[in-house]
Amino acid sequence: MAEELSGQTPIFGGSTGGLLTKAYREEKYVITWTSPKEQVFEMPTGGSAIMRQGPNKLELPRKEYCIALGGQQLRAKMRITDYKIYRVYPNGEVQYLHPSDGVFPEKVNEGRQKVGYIDRNIGKNPDPAKLKFSDTKTYEATTPRSSEAGKGTQDTKSGSLPRQGIEM
């Protein structure tokens, strides 16, 4: 079922670029947002455009361009938080991409699964040199439990030079 995306296209003078041929064979990306006023913004592909007051719709060749426009321009500079990113296939099928659960990735959502989370601080990370030939990845290693863990190995008495002017 093809969902119809609505909105006006921003006023853009054009550039030497454009949608890639991939957009017609594979997919293209659409970002939609609502602007409280007509204002100038920087296009992620170069140049500047004027967004229209009310709903706007912009087609871009890559998802990264949509995320850059939404995060750096709309949210950070213009305080527009209602943008949505879609993937549009050549057959007209529309897939909603971002923010997938309605909350931006930087925010904590109660139901969101933690991905790649290891419950330790950076000081408890294992020494990669000790795991080098063990077939254990540093992110899979358990935290050291010995009393020597986290202590420095440099001996202050032997091997260190005294400060100048201080006799030991």
What band does 36 get if pLDDT is binned at 50, 70 and 90? very high
- pLDDT (tens digit, 9 = 90+) per residue, 47-59? 889 999 999 999 9
Please count the structural domains in the chain.
Answer: 1
Angle at 82 between CA 81 and CA 84, to 5 degrees: 115
- CATH number of the structural domain spanning residue 59: 3.30.1470.10
Q: Give percent above pLDDT 70 in the chain.
A: 70
**98-153 pLDDT tens trace:** 877 666 666 666 776 777 788 888 888 888 888 888 888 877 887 655 444 445 54
- Structural domain contains residue 156: no
For residue 155, being part of any structural domain is answered with: no
Residue 64 sits in which domain range?
Answer: 21-98
Nearest to 56 by CA among 4, 96, 10, 12: 10
Q: What is the pTM of this model?
A: 0.60
